[in-house]
Amino acid sequence: DGGITQSPKYLFRKEGQNVTLSCEQNLNHDAMYWYRQDPGQGLRLIYYSQIVNDFQKGDIAEGYSVSREKKESFPLTVTSAQKNPTAFYLCASNRRDSMNTEAFFGQGTRLTVV
Amino acid sequence: AQSVAQPEDQVNVAEGNPLTVKCTYSVSGNPYLFWYVQYPNRGLQFLLKYITGDNLVKGSYGFEAEFNKSQTSFHLKKPSALVSDSALYFCAVRDIRRGFQKLVFGTGTRLLVSP
């Protein structure tokens, strides 16, 4: 089955640690996205990538980094510079060549700082 | 910039009654509008989209949405609510800048359907 896989489902981070969230898709989509979800704030865009080896900052990129070395993979690193990383993180993908196609989402990773 | 607004944090409806979840949009050019649903601790699932054509769009699980250009609205509707429809609903609009496209989401509306 085609889809997006995020791992792990739950992640605990100590203060000062960097952690990496995995996102893999087998939909052959060029575009991939990372969103952060906090209660009452909807989804906010962290980073997005339209093609391999290229990515753009979203609205809340500070304290995060990404890479796009393969079409299928778009990992997100939450660095120690992110002051309030506890949130639900969602990865998504869609076709790059069309405005009218829907995005597909992974099941999310819940990150908690302990 | 393109944006959407969901004016209600929560909507309560009794099972069997019709439901409406509101969304208004602000866009330049043609709007590409979407509705997604999220169950607890899960990702978002696509429900339906408006691109062009008929103002009444039908989607998954019996949901439909009405596009109203004069009121800049894209309300989600269902004729008869089920308890299993209880979830968080997001309206979204596609934005494109400098050749890069992304989805911009509203803040979400929690739908609670009581038995």
Is the pLDDT at A20 greater than 80? The verdict is yes
B107 inside 8 A of chain A by CB: yes
Q: Which of the 8 DSSP states describes residue B16?
A: T
B100 inside 8 A of chain A by CB: yes
Which of A43, A50, A90 is facing B100, going by the closest CB pair?
A50
Mean pLDDT of all residues in A55-83: 95
Calculate the dihedral angle through the C-alpha atoms of A104, A7, A24, A70, rounding to the nearest 10 degrees.
140
B12 inside 8 A of chain A by CB: no
Residue B99 pLDDT: 73
Better-scored residue on pLDDT, A103 or B96: A103
Rounded to a whole number of angstroms, the distance from the CA of A26 to the nearest CA of chain B is 17
Is the pLDDT at A1 greater than 70? The verdict is no
* Cβ-Cβ contacts under 8 Å, B100 against chain A: 48, 50, 56
Calculate the dihedral angle through the C-alpha atoms of B100, A38, A41, A92, rounding to the nearest 10 degrees.
30
Residues B47-68 have pLDDT tens digits of: 999 988 889 999 999 999 999 9
Better-scored residue on pLDDT, A50 or B17: B17
Task: Quote the percentage of chain B above a pLDDT of 70.
Answer: 100
Is the pLDDT at A100 greater than 80? The verdict is no
B40 inside 8 A of chain A by CB: no
Cα A99 vs. chain centroid, distance in angstroms?
A: 20
Residues A75-95 have pLDDT tens digits of: 999 998 888 999 999 999 998
Q: What are phi and psi of B62, to 5 degrees?
A: 85, 5
Is residue A110 classed as helix, strand or coil in its secondary structure?
Answer: strand
Residue A72 pLDDT: 97
Residue B67 pLDDT: 95
A-B interface: how many C-beta pairs under 8 angstroms? 60
Is the pLDDT at B7 greater than 90? The verdict is yes
